[in-house]
Amino acid sequence: MKNSRRRWFIMAAVMVFTTALWSIEIKNLAQAVNEAGRQRMLTQRMLKDYAMIGIGNTFGNPKEDLKKVMAMFEDHLKALTAFATDPETKKSLEEQRKLWEPIKKMLSEPPTKERAIELQGKLDALLKAADRTTKLFAKQTGQKSGKIINISGRQRMLSQRMANLYMLKVWGINDPQFKEKMAAAMKLFNDSLNLLIKSDLNTDQINKLLKRVKQNFMFFQVMNRSQNRFIPSLIYKKSNEILKDMNTVTGLYASQKVQ
């Protein structure tokens, strides 16, 4: 009896901890821009995990990461909806909710190449909806930092997009637009990175992180030019390193109160 009660308390504690881990309360517009922008990244990270599972590569535990990312997307969507007051922004978030429901179901099923192609299209549609929401929140800030938070946050998404495009290719999924999509993602990342590096909102810490991001991005540039097949786990690792640094940079921009 004591043992069963003890196990129940442990399970309850884990559930409370997990809920607390992903629960979020948005308190201001700068944070809203940051979190809305993070949703863009999560759409691409989910596809990256899905492809890694499909390939059969367990580096970084993509099965568990996918569950975590799905829970995060769901929780943040609820938080953004609770915070939004602007009718156009509310409408954009409702569109995300409608797009998300069938995607959530697909992600919960075993990955297949056929389903991956459909999933990519659905997640790209969700990405566009999340991008519209982010821009609406950024516009409402009325601050110079709102635009830079949007651009910085988008870099997180692009790091995962470059990675998932490559993962799908390694999986053997024939995407006739692969080269165009990869070139567009890399150009936007590079142009945005150069813009961020020149920003007068940068601190010494931000400059240091952006320098490291630029070094890691060089790996993707080399990969895109090379005819060799790169190891998926290496792509996974480099994309997450960029993601981690750009997440910190975006948070640092969001913490500033610059007009």
**pLDDT recorded at residue 15:** 37
Residue 258 host element (H or E): none
pTM, to two decimals: 0.87
Phi and psi at residue 50, in whole multiples of 5°?
A: -60, -45
Q: Could you tell me the two tokens for 56? A: 């059969």
d(CA 98, CA 181): 25
**229 DSSP 8-state letter:** P
Phi and psi at residue 208, in whole multiples of 5°?
A: -65, -45
- b/e map 13-39, b = 16+ CB within 10 Å: eeeeeeeeeeebebeebbbbbbbbbbb
**pLDDT recorded at residue 115:** 95
**pLDDT recorded at residue 13:** 41
d(CA 249, CA 156): 10
d(CA 33, CA 96): 15
**pLDDT recorded at residue 185:** 97
Query: In which region does residue 74 sit, left (phi positive, over 0), alpha (psi from -120 to 50) or beta (all else)?
Result: alpha
CB 232 within 8 A of CB 57: yes
Residues whose CB falls within 8 Å of the CB of residue 50, separated by 6 or more in sequence, listed in order: 62, 66, 107, 111, 116, 119
**231 DSSP 8-state letter:** P
With both helix axes pointing from N to C terminus, report the angle between 232-254 and 204-225 in degrees, rounded to the nearest 10: 150
**pLDDT recorded at residue 23:** 67
**pLDDT recorded at residue 225:** 85
CB 39 within 8 A of CB 133: yes
> Which has the closest alpha carbon to 78: 39, 40, 104?
39
CB 16 within 8 A of CB 132: no
Tell me the pLDDT of the chain (259 aa) as tens digits: 445 444 434 333 433 333 344 568 999 999 999 999 999 999 999 999 999 999 999 999 999 999 999 999 999 999 999 999 999 999 999 999 999 999 999 999 999 999 999 999 999 999 999 999 999 999 998 877 889 999 999 999 999 999 999 999 999 998 889 999 999 999 999 999 999 999 999 999 999 999 999 999 999 999 888 877 778 999 999 999 999 999 999 999 989 854 4
**pLDDT recorded at residue 257:** 58
CB 127 within 8 A of CB 40: yes
**pLDDT recorded at residue 174:** 85
Length of the chain counted residue by residue: 259
**228 DSSP 8-state letter:** S
**pLDDT recorded at residue 143:** 78
CB 149 within 8 A of CB 40: no
> Which has the closest alpha carbon to 141: 30, 35, 249?
30
